[in-house]
Structure 1
């Protein structure tokens, strides 16, 4: 029986340049020099992990560092450091080691998804100006297909 992978692991010491888009969970303990998007499951930036770009996911947990904007559609837990704006629409939890340098904005679910590919410029963020008419909760999938 063939099973579909449910998590991608970027291990410590690994360095990836460019945007990563997955349709399942992902854990990053290394360096990702670009955006990281998880359309389903958990996006986890582990201790020692660094994302130099935006992080977008359904459920987002940051124990490492993100130098870019964070977009969480479901839950967001921060125990690490974020330098950039945070857009969320579900629950948020800040741990005792959380360090934020940016704005925290609760927005509608469709606004937690960037319209443009992830950028490494911390000050830049793009919000969508229109939604996908027939599937409003799945526009991240449409964006992912368009970026591929």
Structure 2
């Protein structure tokens, strides 16, 4: 049985501008000027890595720096620096070099990262019902967590 390992690597010295969404693991040792979402696997911000935006994933490990909110559905390990709010649904571990500047909040694991379904996309085109009219949240495929926090 062949097992494929899918991972995206942002190497040291590499700089990417814009948001990234991947359906597998990702390791960032460079600069990402934008948000990053990993829907499966490990999201690792390595030592020397910098994310200037939101970081979201199933399992998140931060050894570098995130200047934005962090969302982890499963495990979260911080041994780097986070300037933003932290939302976690499973376990959290703070290492000896962890530095946090924001709030820490446990959320339900059911609030998951998932792309919009066709039904949700159809509801965007349809007029909003009276119960959602006036509610100011943008329709995107970012996360249910983000929508819950809006």
The answer to whether the 8 Å contact 1:113/1:127 transfers is: no
- What is the aligned partner in structure 1 of residue 35 from structure 2? 35
Change (3 A) 1:104 1:116: farther
Please identify the structure whose Cα radius of gyration is greater.
2
Alignment of 1:55-94 (within 5 A): 55-94=55-94
Q: Which runs of 4+ in 1 moved over 4 A?
A: 2-5, 112-118
- Structure 1: any 5+ residue segments left out of the alignment? 119-125, 130-148
1:112 and 1:100, CA in 2 relative to 1: closer, same or farther beyond 3 A?
farther
TM-score (norm: length of structure 2):
0.74
Q: TM-score, normalised by structure 1?
A: 0.75
Is the partner of 2:27 in helix, strand or coil?
Answer: strand
| 8 Å Cα contact 1:12/1:30 also seen in 2 | yes
| Counterpart in the other structure of 2:147 | 128
Q: What runs of 5+ residues in structure 2 fail to find an aligned partner?
A: 115-138
CA–CA distance in structure 2, aligned partners of residues 3 and 12 of structure 1: 27
**Considering only aligned residues, what root-mean-square deviation do their CA atoms show, in Å?**
2.3
105 and 113 in structure 1: CA distance in 2 versus 1, 3 angstrom threshold: farther
